[in-house]
Amino acid sequence: MPELLAGFLGFITWLAEKKSPVFVLLPSNDIQALPPEMLRKGRFDEIFFVGLPTQEERQAIYTVHLSRLRPHNLKSYDLERLAYETPDFSGAEIEQTLIEAMHIAFSQNRDFTTDDILEAASQIIPLARTAQEQIQFLQDWAAAGKARLASET
């Protein structure tokens, strides 16, 4: 614990004394774990809340990953259905559905399909369900005006 405190104090000192402009990101899944002095106005220009992706955002995430993985047959995937069927999935969990779908198809010596992705998704329990109370707390915290929402919804 003393090392953590020393690191925190060193970071705060650096923030206050830095001479060059710098862009700092400090992601946290547990806002309550951060010391209040870290969150005070003036410490950072803005605090953003990045929640779970909307259906439209999930579709865009699938598009990004599938464009990288299967650019030659992107149109063969039902992106709208994939986004609809994965309502509580984060971007990382969406990526994992694709990896698992590739494993499913590889074991059958073929390319993966929308159905493989949906099968993989059915095997994943998203963090939004396993840590529902913590996620709800963060959503309520942000909705109370304690952070700027990074997404429109």
Q: Which domains does the chain have, with CATH numbers?
A: 55-129 (1.10.8.60)
What pLDDT, on a 0 to 100 scale, did the predictor assign at position 30?
80
pLDDT band (50, 70, 90) for residue 22:
confident
Amino acid residing at 14: W
Percent of the chain clearing pLDDT 70 (strictly above): 95
What pLDDT, on a 0 to 100 scale, did the predictor assign at position 116?
97
Q: What residues have CB less than 8 Å from 35, skipping those under 6 apart?
A: 8
pTM: 0.80
What pLDDT, on a 0 to 100 scale, did the predictor assign at position 33?
80
CA distances from 41 to 37, 114, 115 (A): 9, 46, 48
What is the average per-residue pLDDT within 59-82? 96
pLDDT band (50, 70, 90) for residue 104:
very high
Q: What residues have CB less than 8 Å from 120, skipping those under 6 apart?
A: 96, 97, 98, 99, 100, 101, 103, 104
What is the average per-residue pLDDT within 58-80? 96
Q: Tell me whether residue 8 is exposed, middle or buried, using C-beta atoms within 10 angstroms of its C-beta: 0 to 12, 13 to 18, 19 or more.
A: middle
pLDDT band (50, 70, 90) for residue 17:
confident
pLDDT band (50, 70, 90) for residue 53:
very high
pLDDT band (50, 70, 90) for residue 119:
very high
CB 147 within 8 A of CB 47: yes
Q: What average pLDDT is seen over the chain?
A: 88
